[in-house]
Amino acid sequence: MAIFVAKRLAMMMLTMVAASFLVFAVCEFTPGSVARKSLGPFATQEQVDFLTKKLKADDPLLVRYGRWAGVLLGIIPDPLQDPSTGLNFKDPRGAQYFGNFGYSTLNKLPVNDVIWSRLGNTAILAGLAFLLIVPLSIVFGILSGLKEGGVLDRLLSVICITFTSIPEFASGVFLVTLFVILWPVLPGTSPLDSEGGWSVPSQLVLPVAVLVIYDFGYVARMIRVSMIGVMEKPYIRTAVLKGMSTRQVVIGHALRNAMIAPFTVLLLQINFLISGVVVTELVFAYPGFGRLLLDASLFGDIATIEAATLITVAIAVTTQFVGDLGYMLLDPRIRLR
């Protein structure tokens, strides 16, 4: 068990290193240099050349990646904060500390000042969506998995497939048209302050609805497949044959076993929601992590992109890990192997 955990932790670290390097390499294709972005469009070529030299931005990719990793781990100070660059970039935490994501050229602020509050906002959005997706998809999945191919199954399946076919921006357009324009009961924008006359909870309704609409159908389909598999097992047949009522069979025997496989699927949805929030946050002008990542990608703000990538990949590998551990706890057969 300890070896398993250690192995997985090592694999997680390796994944994060590889992912951050990949992003670093992809960002090589962005037009415009770090120096140019730090100084703005009106700096002279001499100033840009001076800063490029100062930051050693002409070094090979691997050397610069190593320097970025060194700054992150607190081994070396952030070169952008060196007073001799003349940029006046200051991080109140100091230039050298563990977890230094560097300086955002987009926001002209330390990445750590921006990213965590944005991540908090997104966590509220994704958390609320998750709280609705879990019960909704379990009910839909169990009901349609009870009798495969039955009328109820076909009906619920078509509903689920239809909902998964609606991308977030489309459901955003539909919901805003219905509940903001035609029947104005909700705000169409969610800046999370009550200055516009709408309370903060009312601003969360539509973004959460958009996330739920796109995601719950998929999870319900997964739970349905698992439920069908369980309902075909001999012990269910035995329970039915010995005269138990359908309700008792489902609650007593099927439910717990049918939930083992979807447990992982549900956890992986946390990862999926992080993708989903990019569009949802853009539609509703929600000050979250997804929009920060989008803006940073469009601007080419490598420090922010790298920080956001590391955080998303960390969330992804952690949920996978927790999923596997939970899987082992729920299903004794896997533990034995």
Handedness of CA 184, 190, 191, 193 (dihedral sign): positive
| CA dihedral angle for residue 165, residue 215, residue 229, residue 5, rounded to 10 degrees | 140
Give the residue, chosen from 81, 137, 304, 312, that forms a contact with other proteins under the rule CB under 8 A.
312
* Residue 22 amino acid letter: L
Cβ-contact 250, 210 below 8 angstroms: no
Does 298 help bind other proteins (rule: CB under 8 A)? Answer: yes
Q: How far is CA 86 from CA 22, 70, 127, 159, 248, in A?
A: 31, 22, 42, 60, 74
The residues that bridge with 110 in the sheet, in sequence order, are 103
**Choice between 263 and 272, CB closer to other proteins:** 272
Contacting range for other proteins; rule: CB under 8 A; set: 95-103, 172-180, 229-237, 326-334: 172-180
DSSP class of residue 181 equals I
Residue 299: is it exposed, middle or buried by C-beta count within 10 angstroms (0-12/13-18/19+)?
middle
Number of separate helices (H) and strands (E) present in the chain: 15, 2
Q: How far is CA 31 from CA 10, 34, 107, in A?
A: 35, 10, 18
**Choice between 22 and 63, CB closer to other proteins:** 22
Does 22 help bind other proteins (rule: CB under 8 A)? Answer: yes
What string marks each residue from 144 to 163 as x (binds other proteins by CB under 8 A) or -? -----x----x--xx--xx-
Which 175-234 positions form the footprint of other proteins (CB under 8 A)?
A: 176-177, 181-182, 188
Contacting range for other proteins; rule: CB under 8 A; set: 76-84, 113-121, 200-208, 292-300: 292-300
Contacting range for other proteins; rule: CB under 8 A; set: 49-57, 135-143, 204-212, 314-322: 314-322
Least distance between other proteins and beta carbon 218 (Å): 10
Least distance between other proteins and beta carbon 149 (Å): 8
Maximum CA extent, the chain: 87
Least distance between other proteins and beta carbon 271 (Å): 6
Least distance between other proteins and beta carbon 94 (Å): 29
The residue ranges that bind other proteins (CB under 8 A) are 11, 15, 18-19, 22-23, 26-27, 29-30, 149, 154, 157-158, 161-162, 164-170, 173-174, 176-177, 181-182, 188, 271-272, 274-276, 278-279, 282-283, 293-294, 297-298, 300, 305, 308-309, 312-313, 316-317, 320
